[in-house]
Structure 1
Amino acid sequence: MKIEILGSGCAKCNKTKEIVEKAVDQAGIAAEIVKVQDMDSILAYGVMITPAVVVDGDVKIAGKVPSIEDVLKWITK
């Protein structure tokens, strides 16, 4: 599983990465977590507001920090 955190490196983006890492640890799954800061790559997903979370190429949330419960839902389906 590949999880991408889209964002410029702002506080909300860093918090999102922290939440995703906690959720992956809680779920006990193997996932590659990648931080994407390149604006062209972010825009390629159609994301205009960061932070955003992409799981296996599918944008799950954009413009706000997800809850750990949300992330667990996305990664344990």
Structure 2
Amino acid sequence: MKIEILGSGCAKCKKTKEIVEQAVNEAGVDAEVVKVEDMDTILSYGVMLTPGVVVDGDVKIAGKVPSMDNVKKWIA
């Protein structure tokens, strides 16, 4: 599983990465968590507002920090 955190490095983007990493650890899922800061790549997903979370190529959320519960549902 590949999880991409889309964002420029703002506080919300960093918080999103922390939540995703914690959810992956707690769920015991084998996942690669990658930070994507390239705007062309972010825009290629159709994401105009960051942070965003992409799981295996599917945009799950954009423009806000996800809840731990939502992240766990996406990776289950």
Distance in 1, matches of 2:29 and 2:46, equals 28
Counterpart residue number, 1:10: 10
Distance in 2, matches of 1:11 and 1:63, equals 13
Q: CA deviation at 1:19?
A: 0.0
Unpaired stretches in structure 1, ≥5 consecutive residues: none
State TM-score, norm by structure 1: 0.98
Per-residue CA deviations over 1:4-48 (Å, capped at 9, x if unaligned) read 000000000000000000000010011000000000000000000
Counterpart residue number, 2:20: 20
Unpaired stretches in structure 2, ≥5 consecutive residues: none
Per-residue CA deviations over 1:42-65 (Å, capped at 9, x if unaligned) read 000000000000000000000000
Matched, 1:34 2:9: no
Root mean square deviation of aligned Cα: 0.2
Q: Counterpart amino acid of 2:75?
A: I
Identity %: 78
Q: How many pairs align?
A: 76
* 4+ aligned runs moved over 4 Å, structure 1: none
Counterpart residue number, 1:60: 60
